[in-house]
Structure 1
Amino acid sequence: MGFGPQGFRNAPASKLLTYGTAAASLLTHYSRAHHRVGLTPRGLFARGELLSRWLTSQFAFTAPGEACVGLYLLYALRDVERVRGTKAHATRLLIAAVVSLGIQTLLCADTHLVRWLGLGGSSAGAFIQNFSAVGFAPGPHSLVAALLFPGFLATQPTTQTFTVAGVRFGDKVFTLLAGLRLFWSHGARSVVPALAGVCGSLVSEWAVTGRVGAVVTHRGGWTPPEWACASVRATLGRVLGVDVGGVGGGRRARGGRAAATVTRPRRMPRPRLDVRFGRLDDLAPAPPPPPGAVETLTSMGFDEHDARRALGMCGNDVEAATDALLADAR
């Protein structure tokens, strides 16, 4: 289920985020709850509204044009999940969402900090006029920013370039321009959540990979517990197109306990690499792929044999092999 030849194949987290945002936006529009969606200092302390404002302010667009651009970006950025793998991608998004929501809540709760930063107030020089009443713009601005920076820039290769007035641009510039247009849709009210999302994305990269740029700060990384992943697969797996075979009803092992069942991502159709690159028999043997390269491609749902072949054809370049596999799958 999805748009285009690939749709949301091997991208269930992106599918959940895109469809959830669309449902929240439609529900907010038809319930005429626009005034109770934005995260504001005044509404932050309103009785019984804190949780609803936390949720709706992060997922519900209130303007139709803004919703179209935002939903397009959420769909277009699904390839980031295919490169990273669903579990690592969902973990990054979860951490980024919590951090960005915490930053926005802190700014809403501490109006003195907002005035000191020059973000809000009633003065002519304030970036957000009447901040206590209007607050931040609703919608997943922070999540889109977390997907773009650095996820989209780091994982998606530039496949085509063009020149304008002597300056060369890559095809990724169109996605970035759409993101910048979304972030400026409400001025500073939407720019601040986007910047909070970038901060959350950097924190999530550190938490998952243990790196800050090229510096390794700790080994390993935080991942959600297996019982949480199994619960998501059991409840939302069929809707999202995830293989849920054996969840909750695994084979009985000795002693009466259910044996653990490994759920593998749905494999994509085998790409026709022979048509694209020629036969392997006619080529010189390729050097062995670097550690982790094959695992990166198989985590996206590709066949291990095809992953090794693509790496060999592309000189063990993971990004080029990913692009070739995706192109042949289409």
Structure 2
Amino acid sequence: MNSGPSGFQNAPITKAIIISSAGLSLAAGSRGVLRHLSLTYAGVFQRFELWRSFTGNLVFASLPEMIFGLYLLYFFRMFERRAGSSKFGVFVIFSTTFATLLQIGYLLLLQGGSGGVGSSKVLAPGPFALIFSLFVPFFLDVPVSTHFSILGLRLSDKSFVYLSGLQLLLPSWKSSLFPSFVGLLAGSIYRLNIFGIRQWMMPDVTKFGPVRFIMNHMRLPRSSRVAHPQPAWRASGGSASQDGNENGEAGPREPRMERFGGGDGRMPAGGRSLWASPPSREAVETLMGMGFDHDEVVRALVEAQNDVNVATNLLLEWRGL
């Protein structure tokens, strides 16, 4: 099983979550301010510290939880690469908001436990809900690549991910069971596509006037989906030999020409086709790490002119996702 090439390529939301979670967790551990960041009854209902609904879903209470939690978030970046950041952002917002509301209701039901500092023991802080909501597509969509046996137990390459999730629960299993459960529930509801939520997408902020003005004046690309222009080959106007120039004279061999346009390979309007650069190895590995076959990955990259995001959308459309 492969989650794609290393790093956070095409996974900016996962990168932001991991950096924020690691920074807050280390700061809370070194300064002893965990009780001011975690989701507690006293903090939410008595002091109205609503920021806890945000920080409580990021900060880990212990180093072992942080290590296994961040590893799982990093591994699950494959789903952002597969769905795209716009759809993955909706998944993150929905699962976190849904789970937070249920946790607040749970705290209210328990009357805040022992209140104050002690109430932090009722629900473990950390992105448990988000992590376990991602176990739903991991279980349903990621195929098993290999099987092996250890001490007579038949395991698969997915078993290590499940064991990491179990290890994440062990340090504070009593207080982390409920956040993990509501995370699984949130992932299942999203999977059921209630209200068509799986088709929702976050807006592209680069389309807004002020953002576009700033990015244009800073000379930054507006979107990673903007394809680089390719030189065109005029189909009419003389016959060119594959091994020579237009006059049939000997010359250097022209690079192989591919046709872009519809999926049927027809030439675009105007009788022109575009030079095709071969799909990069890194792009192919990225998409194959999402579970797509090599042939369909190459075809999607060719049609998308090597744009990984566009190719991802094509692959999802072909599979009806």
Give the corresponding residue for 1:21: 21
Aligned-pair distance for 1:154?
3.2
AA aligned to 1:271 is R
Q: Secondary structure of 1:27's match?
A: helix
Give the corresponding residue for 1:142: 129
Give the corresponding residue for 1:11: 11
1:86-97 counterparts in 2 under 5 A? 86-97=85-96
Give the corresponding residue for 1:271: 281
Contact 2:21 2:58 survives alignment (8 Å) = yes
Contact 2:25 2:60 survives alignment (8 Å) = yes
Structure 1 or 2, whichever has the larger Rg, is 2
Distance 1:223 1:28 in 2: 33
Q: How many residues align?
A: 248
Instruction: Report the CA distance shift for 1:145/1:88 in structure 2 as closer, same or farther (over 3 A).
Output: same
Instruction: Report the CA distance shift for 1:33/1:266 in structure 2 as closer, same or farther (over 3 A).
Output: farther
Q: Secondary structure of 2:57's match?
A: helix
Q: Secondary structure of 2:50's match?
A: helix
Aligned-pair distance for 1:89?
1.1
Instruction: Report the CA distance shift for 1:22/1:133 in structure 2 as closer, same or farther (over 3 A).
Output: closer
Q: Secondary structure of 1:137's match?
A: coil
Contact 1:91 1:223 survives alignment (8 Å) = yes
Give the corresponding residue for 1:102: 101
Contact 2:37 2:52 survives alignment (8 Å) = yes
Q: Secondary structure of 2:191's match?
A: helix
Encode CA deviations 1:19-74: one digit per residue, 9 max, x unaligned: 111111122122210222332222222325x2232222110112112211111111
Give the corresponding residue for 1:73: 72
Encode CA deviations 1:245-299: one digit per residue, 9 max, x unaligned: x674459xxxxxxxxx65418999712999xxxxxxxxxxxxx97xxx949x969
Encode CA deviations 1:197-251: one digit per residue, 9 max, x unaligned: 1122223334xxx36xxxxx75973323344x757xx6xxxxxxxxxxx674459
Instruction: Report the CA distance shift for 1:109/1:266 in structure 2 as closer, same or farther (over 3 A).
Output: farther
Contact 1:41 1:132 survives alignment (8 Å) = yes
Give the corresponding residue for 1:302: 308
Q: Secondary structure of 1:45's match?
A: helix
Contact 2:145 2:157 survives alignment (8 Å) = yes
Contact 2:103 2:179 survives alignment (8 Å) = yes
Distance 2:131 2:104 in 1: 18
What is the aligned-residue identity percentage? 25
Aligned-pair distance for 1:13?
1.0
Distance 1:178 1:34 in 2: 24
Instruction: Report the CA distance shift for 1:186/1:303 in structure 2 as closer, same or farther (over 3 A).
Output: closer
Q: Secondary structure of 1:58's match?
A: coil
Distance 1:62 1:165 in 2: 34
Instruction: Report the CA distance shift for 1:298/1:179 in structure 2 as closer, same or farther (over 3 A).
Output: farther
Distance 1:18 1:189 in 2: 22
Encode CA deviations 1:164-221: one digit per residue, 9 max, x unaligned: 3554321011011101221232122111101111122223334xxx36xxxxx75973
Match of 1:169 among 155, 178, 183: 155
Q: Secondary structure of 1:59's match?
A: coil
Aligned-pair distance for 1:79?
1.3
1:149-168 counterparts in 2 under 5 A? 150-168=136-154
RMSD: 4.4
Normalised to the residue count of structure 2, the TM-score between the two structures is 0.63
Give the corresponding residue for 1:32: 32
Instruction: Report the CA distance shift for 1:183/1:75 in structure 2 as closer, same or farther (over 3 A).
Output: same
Contact 2:89 2:202 survives alignment (8 Å) = no
Distance 2:177 2:307 in 1: 35
Contact 1:84 1:300 survives alignment (8 Å) = no
Give the gaps of 5 or more residues in structure 2: 229-277, 285-294
Distance 2:143 2:133 in 1: 18
Contact 2:44 2:50 survives alignment (8 Å) = no
Contact 1:80 1:156 survives alignment (8 Å) = no
Contact 1:141 1:193 survives alignment (8 Å) = yes
Contact 1:270 1:302 survives alignment (8 Å) = no
